[in-house]
A and B are shown apart, each in its own frame.
Chain A
């Protein structure tokens, strides 16, 4: 079955702490991978995406993610979080040649000032 597992449902960090959110996908082919973020009261917006090439992808606001094909993982990282990173983060993939996104359940991050 096609699915995404986000291991942490709620994460609380202090400002300046490092962040790593886990994401594993289940799919029997090539994938395009995404991290989306939803800030309070705002739309879902794209943080970063991976299609091919360098497995370490850099996104907006200092976020990066690493695609490890052998582990079916696409973990999101940020070396030092800010209060403004408080949001819900969604990992998703689309099978190559398909348009529909398969999302994980999301991780709510709260950063304490």
Chain B
């Protein structure tokens, strides 16, 4: 079974540019999550999809961040325009339906975003 995949693995952009990160969850997992880790700090929750619906987006920093999950499969996270403080590692995770909050979340390798 393939794990969670993320693309790209690294992205270096200039302040003010736009970047789109992609996450492909494990096949059949309805729950998809985005997290971010700013260097040296904790991994912070950004949002949670159930299929194509946003279940919880309480962690999204501001309206420069837009997450979508068309068709309930892969998800994209767009940052527009990017600011210096957006630099960090963006993790995606997924979990199966019906496991509830006690279910294991399976993490992808992360995308390292550097904003110059």
Contact = CB atoms under 8 A, between A and B. Distances in A.
Interface of A: 4, 32, 34, 36, 42-46, 49, 51, 90, 92, 94-106
Interface of B: 3-4, 31, 33, 35, 40-45, 48, 55-56, 58-59, 91, 93, 95, 101-102, 104-105, 107-110
B75 to A, nearest CB: 15
18 contacts: A32-B101, A43-B4, A43-B107, A43-B108, A44-B91, A44-B93, A44-B107, A90-B43, A94-B102, A96-B101, A99-B56, A99-B95, A100-B48, A100-B56, A103-B35, A103-B44, A105-B41, A106-B43
Contact of A4 (B4, B33, B42, B107): B42
A45 B106 CA distance: 7
Contact of A46 (B4, B48, B104): B104
B105 A101 contact: yes
Contacts, number: 58
A103 B107 contact: no
Contacts of A46: 104
Contact of A103 (B42, B95, B102): B42
Contacts of A102: 45
Contacts of A34: 104
Contacts of A43: 3-4, 107-110
B33 A100 contact: yes
A101 B42 contact: no
Nearest to B105: A101
Given A32-B102, A51-B102, A105-B40, A100 B45 contact: yes
Given A43-B3, A44-B91, A44-B107, A49 B42 contact: no
B107 A45 contact: yes
A43 B109 CA distance: 5
